[in-house]
Structure 1
């Protein structure tokens, strides 16, 4: 059997404290037909001092002007030669058999994408704790990318960047990452990848570790700029999915607008109202329909007002039930 090349692309920005561990996890892969590419996105913490050590181990290193993680990933893609791509953020870690197990499964099922469960950790993977539930964990099942997105919307879950292995042919269809800095850059990119993917498989083992850091500010919706960038990415995803004319598929962007509403309603009420209006506007099913009473209020009064009324009346119902 041939051994296709897998490119592991590691964008890094001021992550000198972590990137050695990420690179070591790439070097430790049991599957050996790999190339590792580190792209320093204009770091100011002397990350480049690690380059000689990395290059001595066969890692290809590049320094570019700061343009954001997506821009650095695109640069890595341009420099890559692999038939498959593993995106690895500088503070995350791969389990040693990740590439081997996912690649074998993809080749067996002729899949474009493979994902697996991951766990979250803060300081050391020995302290890792499990992420929430996943869907479609059966090794033998092949799903389309659009079926995965419907499940995102209806089952309320998602897949992190580190959990994927991507066939290069699919990237050529989906295009490069959007270089604009955005908390949802991975969501927007993998929505395009899923849109074009005919076969997605799951390797049902924990094969990656996502580090939660105190300085992970880009992923937090703590400014109007970040909220606006995420909102625009949701609209882009919605526009793409509208071309399919599938109401169930629209449950995915509907869920995203709900999540933004929920995350920003305390500090940015006007932007929360905008997200809620978009949730109401999309005529699609929702995972919230399982919450029968809450769903009734949302359908009757809209997400923003319905949530307020439901929250106000819920304690009264509790008293009535006890009496």
Structure 2
């Protein structure tokens, strides 16, 4: 099959200590039915056998590079600088794509450089057979949108503000024209559990809309023992999360000046304020004050039945202290 009529897609894989899964992830990239693709692996100074495994796949269309340990966002930026493709597919080193994922989205995009492609995401626990999961397109975002601001408001909302909305779209689900990334800017390289949320907020706002594909699936692996930044509870992680929320709010504020925006983001500030308490009291206070400034009036403490009951009797702060002392989280 000739590939000159098929735009090149660059699949960028940031790699750090994923020796258990990287081979399967690379295979899932190689098995994409889209004929014109390149795979770019950026090793973030792994300390296990990840790079040795990745190097076994290196050829004309699979390249591997190593950077000093700077985090996944910096690795993705490295990959973007090396990418020759007109479209970008990010793929985490332990996740998987159905073989038709890229081809399905390219079919829906029809060569557009102003729309961003989206597909379904399936969450599965590490060790489970993801192929047995029933595929559905019943989330609110499983349709096209020609209003990026409205889409992002719904994405960041919850039932208290916009009933039926709110979600987390894992970054592998997107297929992005490189020109949109050039317009929006590269990844911010602060280490943050929400680095993808901040990045794709800019990319979506730079687009003319979202094109949803019912063909293709992103399989997102969940780990019980999470040692990545998403599972950390360090002060720097909380500070980065606050910065990410500040930035997303400011991007949307430039395009949409309405009180509902503050209500949408008040919840995010409140949740960080509660999660950071009592270990990081000053940061917690800053986040709680911002949530109250934005009019937060939702549930004060979300936990299991016992924790929620205790918070109603003792207040959320004391309930949070008890949780922290018992579980150190």
Q: 1:234 matched to which residue of 2?
A: 245
Q: 1:277 matched to which residue of 2?
A: 289
SS at match of 1:17: coil
Identify which range, 256-265 or 18-27, moves more after superposition.
256-265
Q: Deviations over 1:212-260 (max 9, x none)?
A: 1223431035122211111111112222222224224445433422442
Against the structure 1 CA distance between its residues 36 and 217, is the aligned structure 2 distance closer, same or farther, given a 3 Å change threshold?
closer
RMSD of aligned residue pairs (Cα, Å): 3.1
Q: CA deviation at 1:313?
A: 10
Matches within 5 A, 1:72-87: 72-87=75-90
Q: 1:150 matched to which residue of 2?
A: 153
Cα distance in structure 1, aligned partners of 2:15 and 2:37: 19
Against the structure 1 CA distance between its residues 42 and 310, is the aligned structure 2 distance closer, same or farther, given a 3 Å change threshold?
closer
1:260 and 2:261 correspond:
no
Q: Deviations over 1:282-323 (max 9, x none)?
A: 36xx8x87xxxx59xxxxxxxxxxx99983499xxxxxxxxx
SS at match of 2:139: coil
Question: Could you list the runs of 5+ residues in structure 2 that have no partner in the other structure?
Answer: 301-307, 316-329
Q: Deviations over 1:101-145 (max 9, x none)?
A: 11111127765212122112233452576899721323xx33222
Q: Which segments of structure 1 move beyond 4 Å, counting only runs of 4 or more?
A: 108-111, 127-133, 249-252, 265-270, 307-310
Matches within 5 A, 1:12-23: 12-23=15-26
SS at match of 2:230: coil
Cα distance in structure 2, aligned partners of 1:252 and 1:27: 40
Cα distance in structure 2, aligned partners of 1:39 and 1:113: 24
Q: Deviations over 1:269-291 (max 9, x none)?
A: 554443232222236xx8x87xx
Question: Could you list the runs of 5+ residues in structure 1 that have no partner in the other structure?
Answer: 296-306, 315-323
Paired positions, count: 295
1:161 and 2:171 correspond:
yes
Against the structure 1 CA distance between its residues 217 and 232, is the aligned structure 2 distance closer, same or farther, given a 3 Å change threshold?
same
Q: Deviations over 1:44-67 (max 9, x none)?
A: 113221244111473111111111
Going by fraction, where is helix more abundant, 1 or 2? 1
Cα distance in structure 1, aligned partners of 2:265 and 2:234: 21
SS at match of 2:21: helix
Against the structure 1 CA distance between its residues 80 and 181, is the aligned structure 2 distance closer, same or farther, given a 3 Å change threshold?
same
Against the structure 1 CA distance between its residues 275 and 221, is the aligned structure 2 distance closer, same or farther, given a 3 Å change threshold?
farther
SS at match of 2:229: coil
Scaled by the length of structure 1, what TM-score is found? 0.80
Q: 1:311 matched to which residue of 2?
A: 312
Cα distance in structure 1, aligned partners of 2:103 and 2:194: 28
Q: 1:119 matched to which residue of 2?
A: 122
Cα distance in structure 2, aligned partners of 1:270 and 1:30: 51
Against the structure 1 CA distance between its residues 252 and 232, is the aligned structure 2 distance closer, same or farther, given a 3 Å change threshold?
same
Q: 1:178 matched to which residue of 2?
A: 188
1:209 and 2:219 correspond:
yes
